[in-house]
Chains A and B, each alone.
Chain A
Amino acid sequence: MSTVVASTVTWREARVVESIPATAHARILRIAAPGWPGSLPGQHVDVRLTAEDGYQAVRSYSLGLAGTDDVIELGVDEVPDGEVSPYLVHEVRADDVLEVLGPLGGYFVWHDDDPSPVQLIAGGSGIVPLRAMLRARLASASAAPFRLLYSTRSSQDAIYREELEAVDDGGAEVDWAYTRAAPDGWTGTVGRLDGVALDAAVWPVADDPLVFVCGPTGFVETVAKALVARGHSPLRIKTERFGGV
């Protein structure tokens, strides 16, 4: 009879290469993780910080870029009163050391051999794994048509804003929704995503798109329910929730 043994996980020591301001409250961290096995678009890592007294904290952060480079990219949005994210957004510096476990998660992943039209729907910092999917699509030979709908409080609150605003071809399209304030010249409405906005920006049910929704729990629930109500199959909607409201 064999013995049941918990699987061995490998926490990898990693060194911060740079911390790039993404918004007033978010950073892109580029982290060197020697021996990194590579990731698929949409995966995340667990980050472990150890205090001098030995106290450890672990949080999950999405990878903003997939691939085999052993410098990985995380998007971190500050959660006020959080235990880890304020440190990663405001304190962490190049050459600081932390530990990462990953890549993690095989569910919220886009595979470049899937020819289905893809609909990405991001709320706030939920853009991070979806940006990895969009970048993977643009870098691949895939002809899968991509659409991204990015709901953000304002243009200044959008992580990867300049890069996403520059996407205008190559089989990918980016639509914006503003919940608090729209930029000058915006002719649409301002407010939470509703059925009208989804109808305008999401592939129709008849195209049977694969849909990835990522953001705060409330956002994901609302959007997923609205999509099902519009006739999209729940089996074609993949979701990832960051918590919060």
Chain B
Amino acid sequence: MRAENAAVVVDGNAAAGILSEIFTGDVTTTIGVCSGCGSSGPLAEAVVEIDEFAAIVRCRECTHTMVTVLRGPAETRVVFGTLQELRIST
């Protein structure tokens, strides 16, 4: 359930919808590696601040912003922060 007020803190599960507009398949199950602290974990477990216009995905360990998705009127921007690597099980 997405939080009701702008940019309330939830987790990566709630970003599955907005991320599906960018990535094919479900990216929340992939393991993200943070270059801020070197930790890794499923994006579903990351800290996410989300509202109508943006999803900010932050590292649960060091709180650095790993990636931000910004929905604009004409384009959607994916801005990479400390998301250094994605590991996808095959």
Contact = CB atoms under 8 A, between A and B. Distances in A.
Interface of A: 6-7, 9, 44, 46, 56-62, 76-77, 79, 81-85, 101-102, 104-108, 125, 128, 217, 238-244
B5 A217 contact: no
A61 B14 CA distance: 9
Contacts of B85: none
Contact of B20 (A9, A61, A62, A243): A9
B29 A106 contact: yes
Interface of B: 1-5, 8-14, 16-17, 20-24, 26, 28-29, 42, 44-45, 52, 76
Contacts of B1: 44, 59-62, 76-77, 125, 128, 242-243
A46 B15 CA distance: 10
**Taking each of A56, A101, A238, A243, which has the highest tally of chain B beta carbons within 10 Å of its own beta carbon?**
A243
29 contacts: A9-B17, A44-B1, A46-B2, A46-B17, A57-B52, A59-B2, A60-B14, A60-B17, A61-B1, A77-B1, A81-B5, A83-B4, A101-B17, A102-B17, A104-B20, A105-B28, A105-B44, A106-B16, A106-B28, A107-B42, A107-B44, A108-B44, A217-B10, A217-B11, A240-B11, A241-B13, A242-B3, A243-B1, A243-B3
Contacts of B45: 107, 239
Given A60-B14, A106-B28, A239-B45, A82 B4 contact: yes
